[in-house]
């Protein structure tokens, strides 16, 4: 399959500037989840022009889409994300400097995420046309990974039904096709309603919704001692009143509840619901629970991990020029060495101690984290219950770069980010070719997939009657 792979590599090289321009366009747009109208159009327009059949607004998500091309089996999916994060505006400079006129920023590199999948699938389409290869390619335009977990809504509505394997790329600090799982989670808001009054002259007439929110938070914080070690519970107070001399009659908190297994999330969530009820009773208020979304834990796949890793090594890591290395050095100087050491330690990568003085990851290791649980959550997990799925990462950022940071935004728009983008595009294309042309890869991946699920049944974590939170960013 070397000739087929070199064909797609050459296609990506020949169209490299176009691929970079697409990523940069999305980087500049920096649209929040469920509001990525222009970003999703950049990608869908490109696929439409290439002859893909587009379905817009899938699963009730205005900025979600699917793009299909080809006929028959196998059906190979590639996912692309394009949502940005609030308040992370940043110029492409190695020091903190918000981009003038901007508020949001791609602090998770989703501009690269969407473009790498696009480039990989377009390259393979050209090969399939040239060599008359049978099969179906599907690009899934996936909004709001960071906020509303768009893929969960898409899975619930059957958008991924019939796909045989799914690939995805995420920028990171390391080159790896991981075998770790992830934390399932629930996202939920608690609305408390009380009674306003003058906080000084007639406090007895008031019923403070803010008191209820704070008492609930206290109860949850005491709960932390009595949940499993890998559980995570975090919250913010979105609304707490107007001014201190008025007893607030409305307050609102937003919680994320995480655990390694879906059933564990549900158990902790039910205990938190009871705490909310207790806060209501203690303050003579009422409350309403607004369930926003939930996600599952990820099902890894070693077969696809080995496939991706092999292609990473065959392609070879990017080379950086002096200007890029100077940029990387200056970014690295903004990251305390202690923080870098802690990030490497948390990775549990064998030999991480030797990497403390590295600037950029210069290796492609075998996945070392079989059986581990990442403390993050992702809606890729819900897709992984539908078919063998692999989301790999490439070293886009200097080692130690914290996620969701200005450093990520700056590097995601830089020429270093461009090189990682093109590298990942080739990895996706080569891995699709393996799945298309080697029946054993797909057969082995499915046997492993079924064994890992072990008879468990996927039940959508969001109720059937619940609609996507399209007003999520409205206060």
Return the pLDDT at 475: 57
Ramachandran angles phi, psi of 296, nearest 5°: -95, 175
Domain chopping of the chain, boundaries: 2-181+297-453, 184-295
The domain made up of 184-295 is a member of CATH 3.40.50.2020: no
**Could you report how far apart the first and last alpha carbons of the chain are, in Å?**
54
CA-atom Rg of the chain in angstroms? 23
38-50: per-residue pLDDT in tens?
999 999 999 999 9
What is 2-181+297-453's CATH number, 3.30.465.10, 3.40.630.10, 3.10.105.10, 1.10.3720.10?
A: 3.40.630.10
Secondary structure (3-state) at 247: coil
Mean pLDDT value across residues 412-434: 98
Sign of the C-alpha dihedral, residues 379, 380, 383, 385?
A: negative
DSSP string, 197-238: -BTTT-GGG-B-HHHHHHHHHHHHHHHGGGS-TT-EEEEEEE
Interval 216-240 mean pLDDT: 97
pLDDT at residue number 353: 97
d(CA 176, CA 363): 9
Which residue has better confidence, 1 or 307?
A: 307
Condensed to tens digits (0 to 9), the pLDDT of residues 107-149 reads 999 999 999 999 999 999 999 999 999 999 999 999 999 989 9
Q: Which helix (H) or strand (E) holds 190?
A: strand 184-193
Element (H, E) at 393: strand 389-395
Pair 318, 191: CB distance under 8 Å: no
Element (H, E) at 337: helix 337-347
Per-residue pLDDT, averaged over 449-473, amounts to: 92
For residue 174, is pLDDT > 70? Answer: yes
């Amino acid at each position: 399959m070397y000739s087929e792979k070199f064909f797609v590599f050459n296609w990506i090289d020949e169209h490299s500037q176009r691929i970079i321009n697409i990523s940069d366009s999305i980087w500049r747009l920096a649209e929040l989840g469920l509001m990525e109208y222009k970003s999703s159009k950049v990608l869908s327009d490109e696929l439409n022009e290439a002859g893909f059949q587009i379905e817009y607004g899938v699963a009730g998500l205005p900025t979600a889409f699917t793009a299909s091309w080809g006929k028959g089996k196998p059906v190979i999916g590639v996912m692309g994300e394009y949502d940005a994060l609030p308040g992370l505006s940043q110029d492409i400079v190695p020091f903190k400097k918000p981009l003038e006129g901007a508020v949001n920023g791609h602090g998770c590199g989703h501009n690269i995420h969407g473009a790498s999948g696009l480039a990989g699938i377009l390259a393979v389409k050209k090969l399939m046309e040239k060599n008359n290869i049978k099969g179906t390619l599907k690009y899934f335009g996936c909004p709001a990974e960071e906020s509303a977990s768009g893929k969960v809504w898409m899975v619930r509505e059957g958008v991924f039904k019939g796909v045989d394997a799914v690939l995805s790329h995420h920028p990171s600090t390391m080159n790896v096709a991981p075998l770790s799982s992830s934390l399932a989670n629930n996202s939920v808001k608690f609305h408390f309603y009380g009674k306003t009054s003058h906080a000084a002259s007639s406090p007895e007439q008031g019923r403070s919704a803010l008191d209820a929110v704070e008492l609930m938070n206290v109860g949850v914080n005491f709960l932390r001692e009595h949940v499993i070690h890998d559980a995570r519970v975090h919250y913010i107070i979105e609304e707490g009143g107007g001014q201190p001399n008025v007893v607030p009659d409305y307050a609102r908190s937003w919680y994320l509840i995480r655990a390694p297994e879906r059933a564990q999330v549900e158990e902790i969530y039910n205990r938190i619901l009871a705490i909310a009820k207790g806060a209501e009773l203690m303050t003579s208020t009422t409350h309403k629970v607004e369930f926003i979304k939930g996600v599952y834990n990820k099902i890894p796949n070693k077969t696809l991990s080995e496939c991706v890793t092999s292609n990473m090594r065959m392609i070879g890591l990017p080379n950086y020029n002096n200007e890029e290395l100077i940029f990387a050095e200056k970014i690295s100087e903004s990251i305390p060495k202690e923080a870098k050491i802690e990030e490497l330690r948390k990775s549990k990568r064998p030999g991480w101690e030797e990497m403390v003085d590295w600037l950029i990851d210069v290796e492609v290791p075998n996945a070392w984290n079989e059986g581990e649980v990442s403390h993050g959550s992702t809606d890729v997990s819900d897709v992984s219950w539908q078919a063998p799925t692999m989301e790999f990462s490439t070293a886009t950022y200097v080692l130690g770069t914290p996620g969701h940071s200005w450093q990520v935004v700056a590097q995601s728009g830089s020429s270093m980010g461009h090189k990682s983008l093109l590298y990942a595009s080739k990895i996706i294309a080569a891995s699709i070719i393996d799945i298309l042309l080697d029946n054993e890869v797909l057969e082995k991946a499915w046997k492993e997939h079924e064994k890992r699920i072990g008879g468990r049944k996927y039940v959508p974590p969001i109720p059937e009657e619940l609609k996507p939170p399209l007003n999520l960013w409205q206060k």
